[in-house]
Amino acid sequence: MEATTFVLFGATGDLAKRKIYPALYNLFVDGKLPNAFSVVGLGRRELTDETFRENVARSLRSFSRREANEGESLDAFLNAFRYNVLDIGRKEDYEKLLRLVEAREAELGAAPNRLFYLSVGPEFFETIAANIRDSGLGSADGWKRLVIEKPFGHDLQSARDLNAKLSRSFAEDEIYRIDHYLGKPMVQKLEILQQANPVLQALWTNRHIANVQITANETVGVEERAGYYDHVGAVRDMFQNHMLQLLMMLAIHLPHNSTSDEVRTKKRKVIEALEPLAKEDVAANVVRGQYAAGEIQGKPVVGYTSEPGIAADSANDTFIAAELHIDDYFWRGVPFYIRTGKRMKEKSTRIVIEFKELAGEHTQSDDKTKAPNLLVFEISPNEGITLQLNTRDPQHKGEFQPMLVNFHTSQQDVPEAYENLIHDALQGDPTFFAHWDEVELSWKWVQPILDAFKDDLVPLRTYAAGTYGPAEADELLARNGHRWRFDDADNQTQTKEGATYAYHANH
Ligand SMILES: NC(=O)C1=CN([C@@H]2O[C@H](COP(=O)(O)OP(=O)(O)OC[C@H]3O[C@@H](n4cnc5c(N)ncnc54)[C@H](OP(=O)(O)O)[C@@H]3O)[C@@H](O)[C@H]2O)C=CC1
Ligand SMILES: O=C1O[C@H](COP(=O)(O)O)[C@@H](O)[C@H](O)[C@H]1O
């Protein structure tokens, strides 16, 4: 891998501590960092290199999936770290930074390839990009890349404005917009599972698929993020980015060995083909919810409007469910149901594909006991694939029984999303980053929902914490004869009654 200087804005912040340092460490342990590699951490706080390294080591002990015990290996990792005080708005600080970066590159005999990771609030993105350009940090005889965190805009117009500003300093192919859902290993596997398995390719159409359900439920509430979350809600925090990315990744049809350009083109086609919702139609297709007091895993929790920092009359959405349609050859007529919420019964991110009965199949008297075939991609917290088939106990010739064929990987073996994404950014592979076209088209699709929420055209439904959301989210599916599959209760019945065949990846 090419020599790289990893310039980290926000090196003293929460994201760096919880995600970025552990990801870098795990890549280091796996031998996936360049030989000539430096991290230059930036922040306003006055830290020496030694204190910075101690902070990094502490974060590894708390958050890394790998042991970070003192020793040669940890020392070798930390040796790559330097700290530099920088105030984002002070131009002269970038000149000092340039001198430090150049000195470090000279020390290592490394080419001036620089990755600028912006782990700071989006209000700083424009200033940082412009200062990188003006200071000469980005004009050396190597490559430059800009990695940015969400949120990318607050609505369609602000996203366009931000993109226009960044484009003055970085080309589109130099910008890596993180959507950490694209870094989740199971999401990355969706592409290859489809390409490498003719059986899936053959089934991936409206001829065989009755509906697709994409869920990202969380048990946590607003936590300490009231200031941020109360202005964005579930629609901006999760739906516009992560959920629509999951939809694109699931719905694309890719030729074998697709390039990153092909993936991007196909994703764009999917989102372009999403049937637009008019503001007036949002209420019929979208459920907006907010959690009330309830219980999470046996413990009482307060409702959203009683959370610290949230106004008692806040109408912010903590839950959203929607029915979407992709108007193209493959998916016409297949509802895509999306649901995400906070303070739900269980933490689970999964995609369920429900298959149709065979066309023209005669109804048998015992068909009512037959469960639909389901293909379930468990994305997190557990990773796995389940196929629900029907069987019958040959001894008793009784009712149909669902049989679950399970594939699960051990959590220890699974790299963190940030490991995958940082590794890809270091290699210059943009496949699992959000391209501007996708971001813009996602905001465009979501904008009528934002407008309808703002104008209060969609009733705010409450749901008790610790449930699966408002009843209206069930009704959304019920009107089409569908229901959310593989929720906790559903799952228990299926495993109690059904035979389970497990295949473990490490066997
Ligand atoms: N935390 C998380 O889990 C996630 C965060 N994000 C996004 O990542 C970004 C960073 O989040 P997070 O780490 O939580 O934020 P924090 O508030 O914890 O950290 C902010 C960082 O920005 C630095 N900073 C702030 N102002 C300046 C300034 N004027 N000049 C120089 N540095 C400055 C701070 O350094 P100092 O105080 O030393 O100046 C600090 O290192 C945000 O965009 C957030 O939305 C996205 C997904 C998850
Ligand atoms: O981006 C975000 O994602 C998290 C959920 O991520 P997960 O990997 O735990 O599923 C969510 O809690 C947060 O509000 C949101 O900003």
Q: What is the mean pLDDT of each run of 10 residues along the chain (507 residues)?
A: 96 96 96 97 97 97 89 92 97 97 96 97 95 91 95 96 97 97 94 88 94 98 94 98 98 87 95 97 98 96 98 98 97 98 97 86 62 93 90 75 83 84 97 97 98 98 98 98 85 50 47
Give residue 501 CA to ligand 2 midpoint distance, Å: 31
Q: Which among 397, 244, 408 is positioned nearest to 326, based on CA atoms?
A: 244
Which ligand has the nearest atom to the CA of 97? 1
Question: Which ipTM did the prediction report?
Answer: 0.97
From 188, 218, 379, give the residue whose CB has the most ligand 2 atoms within 8 Å, as the site to mutate.
218
CA of 121 to the centre of ligand 2 (A): 16
Q: For residue 367, what pLDDT is reported?
A: 65
Count of CB atoms situated within 10 Å of the CB of 344 = 27
Catalytic member of 242, 423, 435, 482: 242
Dist. CA 348 → ligand 2 center (Å): 11
Question: Cα separations (Å) of 223 from 210, 216, 308?
Answer: 37, 17, 9
* Cβ of 148 below 6 Å from ligand 1: no
Cβ of 87 closer than 6 Å to ligand 1, yes or no, is yes
pLDDT at 196: 87
Question: Which ligand 2 atom is nearest residue 184's CA?
Answer: 8
Q: Whose CA is nearest to atom 39 of ligand 1?
A: 44
Under 8 Å between Cβ of 178 and 147: yes
| Residues in the ligand 2 pocket, defined by CB under 6 Å | 216, 218, 237-238, 349, 380
> How much is the pTM?
0.94
Check pocket membership of 44 for ligand 1, CB cut-off 6 A.
yes
What pLDDT score does 506 carry? 39
Burial readout 243-274 (b: 16 or more C-beta within 10 A, e: otherwise): bbbbbbbbbbbbeeebebeebbebbbebbebb
State the distance from the centre of ligand 2 to the C-alpha of 313, rounded, in angstroms.
25
Residue 353, judged by CB atoms within 10 A of its CB (0-12, 13-18, 19+), counts as buried
Pick the residue whose CA is nearest to atom 22 on ligand 1. 10
Q: Does 13 contact ligand 1 (Cβ within 6 A)?
A: yes
Residue nearest to ligand 2 atom 9, measured at CA: 218
Q: Residue 198 C-alpha to ligand 2 middle, in angstroms?
A: 33
User: Which pLDDT belongs to residue 507?
Assistant: 33
Write the CB contacts of 251 (distance below 8 Å, at least 6 apart in sequence).
212, 270, 326, 330, 331, 336
How many whole angstroms from its chain centre is CA 71? Answer: 34
What is the position in ligand 1's atom list of the atom closest to the CA of 180?
47
Please state, in angstroms and rounded to a whole number, the distance separating the CA atoms of residues 208 and 200.
11
242 is catalytic: yes
Residue recorded with tokens 């002269």:
92
Cα of 64 to ligand 2 centre, how many Å? Answer: 18
Q: Residue 493's pLDDT is what?
A: 46
Contact by Cβ (8 Å): 148, 186: no
Given the CA of residue 417, which atom of ligand 2 is nearest to it? 8
Q: How far apart are CA 290 and CA 469, in angstroms?
A: 8
Which residue's structure tokens are 């497990």? 502
Tell me which residue has its CA closest to atom 14 in ligand 2. Answer: 237
pLDDT, position 490: 58
